[in-house]
């Protein structure tokens, strides 16, 4: 038996486990998707894999699912952080969605000297990460962190984590990732629409854990650069191979 609807839930999952639904989830399943008692729903919580459930109770404001069988084990992404400077609302949403779909373990919005947006809605971006995981078949949802200044984040950078720094000033100067060891903690940094400042670029290039990389012969928009950088890293060091 297969399910047409896939849902993220914040509840423990296991054989015979009951899963209560929130008002919004009940509205979506029973008001929008028109499911009824006995229908199948695939659920995951980012911890216990994916489970096939059956609708046990269906109401306008609440509902109950019952876990039947596990259909996927938990599939963790590589230990990859994705750092980006927020841009216009819809394009920031796109970056978060694609980072979640393409295997980022943690998503960190950063404030750079040329960042256009000085605030984000962390809860809204987290919801986009959840939706991306629901749609792409993932069993893990990356955390979207609060907005933090890039210089402060670099001040407390964890030992052992490498940083792939995507710099539009290095067009045509590619870094080979193929020779680097897989399975290590990494991060990717995408700059704002206005690029990095000279001070930021100087600091980043001087850090022993930072590795500058070009994303080709053309300057990319920030949202395009996000997809290109994730693709480059995943093919060389991630779980695509």
How many angstroms separate the first and last alpha carbons of the chain? 31
Residue 165 to residues 124, 191, 225: CA-CA distances in angstroms? 26, 9, 11
Instruction: Count helices and strands (H / E) in the chain.
Output: 6, 12
Tell me the CA distances in angstroms from 154 to 5, 129, 203, 210, one per residue in order.
Answer: 41, 24, 9, 10
Residues of the chain with CATH 2.40.240.20: 6-72
Q: What is the pTM of this model?
A: 0.91
CATH superfamily membership of 6-72: Hypothetical PUA domain-like; domain 1 (2.40.240.20)
Between 17-26, 52-61, 148-157, 162-171, the lowest mean confidence (pLDDT) is in 162-171
pLDDT tens digits for range 2-51: 788 999 999 999 999 999 999 999 999 999 999 999 999 999 999 999 99
Instruction: Give CATH 3.40.1280.10 domain extents, the chain.
Output: 80-237
- Axis crossing angle, helix 222-237 with helix 89-101, rounded to the nearest 10: 10
CATH class as words, domain 80-237: alpha beta
SS3 label, residue 148: strand
Q: Collect all residues with Cβ–Cβ distance below 8 Å to 21 and sequence separation of at least 6.
A: 9, 29, 62, 63, 64, 65
Per-residue pLDDT averaged across 227-233, rounded?
93
Q: Is the pLDDT score of 177 beyond 90?
A: no
pLDDT digits (tens, 9 = 90+) for 44-87: 999 999 999 999 999 989 999 999 999 999 999 999 999 999 98
Is the pLDDT confidence value at 174 over 60?
Answer: no
């Amino acid at each position: 038996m297969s399910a047409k609807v896939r849902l993220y839930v914040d509840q423990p999952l296991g054989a015979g486990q009951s899963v209560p639904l929130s008002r919004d989830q009940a509205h979506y399943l029973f008001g929008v998707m028109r499911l009824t008692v006995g229908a199948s729903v695939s659920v995951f919580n980012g911890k216990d894999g994916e489970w096939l459930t059956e609708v046990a109770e269906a109401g306008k404001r609440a509902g109950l699912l019952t876990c039947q069988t596990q259909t996927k084990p938990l599939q963790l992404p590589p230990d990859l952080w994705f750092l980006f400077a927020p841009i216009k609302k819809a394009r920031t949403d796109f970056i978060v969605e694609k980072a979640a779909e393409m295997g980022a373990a943690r998503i960190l919005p950063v404030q750079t000297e040329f960042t256009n947006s000085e605030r984000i809605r962390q809860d809204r971006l987290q919801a986009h990460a959840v939706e991306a995981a629901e749609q792409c078949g993932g069993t893990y949802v990356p955390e979207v962190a609060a907005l933090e200044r890039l210089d402060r984040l670099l001040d407390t950078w964890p030992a052992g984590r490498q940083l792939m720094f995507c710099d539009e000033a290095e067009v045509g100067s590619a870094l080979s990732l193929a020779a680097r060891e897989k399975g290590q903690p990494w991060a990717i940094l995408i700059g704002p629409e206005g690029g990095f400042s000279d001070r930021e670029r100087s600091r980043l290039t001087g850090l022993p854990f930072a590795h500058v990389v070009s994303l080709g012969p053309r300057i990319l928009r920030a949202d395009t650069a996000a997809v290109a950088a994730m693709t480059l890293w995943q093919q060389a060091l991630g779980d695509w191979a």
